[in-house]
Amino acid sequence: MTTFVRLCVLGAALLMAGCVSQQKYEASQQRNAELEAQYAQLNDTMGSEIAGRELHISRMQDAIKVSLNEDLLFPSGGSEMSAAAKKSIAKIAAVLAPHQRNKINVNGYTDSTPIGPELEKQGITSNLILSQKRAEAVMQFMISQGVKPDLVSAHGFGEANPVASNDTAEGRAQNRRVELTVASPGS
């Protein structure tokens, strides 16, 4: 075989290795279509909460993020979900649970306000612990509403990753949130 033919064969092999198989492409397209359908259904189902600025839904590459205002979910300084929170989370679970194949990450965040004495009496000594307890409460409620336990996890991040300044009441309110990230398998 000539050097030219060897280079052509090698080049063709490299090009083929860089290509995505039709099967992988179709699987990716199917995952994207499933997420897009869930995104549309969540927007339709959660219209009043979106209009009331209690939650925000965004579409990301290979994922959907639902950000819930913690004032909707929990009383100030508490980790027990309110009745309104349970109603909203139940609506979200009703969209996500049927035929669930996607992983749901429940991430809790707080503002930078120090933990008060009431929470300390309950053993909650840091914003990190408070955010974890809140994320776990949302996760457990979602499981009670039919979300598969093996496809949901909870993580507390405390005051890390603020979305606004903690110097104002409005900014602190934005930082107190729970985010649900629905990610397609393989993402």
Q: What is the pLDDT of residues 74-105, one digit of tens each?
A: 877 778 898 888 999 999 999 999 888 889 99
Here the tokens at position 142 are 């979602």
Q: What is the pLDDT of residues 117-138, one digit of tens each?
A: 988 998 999 999 999 999 999 9
pTM of the predicted model as reported, rounded to 2 decimal places: 0.79
Q: What CA–CA distance (Å, rounded) separates 128 from 123? A: 12
Q: How many CA atoms lie within 13 A of 157 on its CB side?
A: 15
- CA distances for 77 relative to 7, 69, 110, 141, angstroms: 68, 14, 10, 19
Q: What CA–CA distance (Å, rounded) separates 119 from 138? A: 19
Instruction: Give the right CATH number for 53-183 from 3.30.1330.60, 3.40.50.880, 3.20.20.60, 3.30.1490.100.
Output: 3.30.1330.60
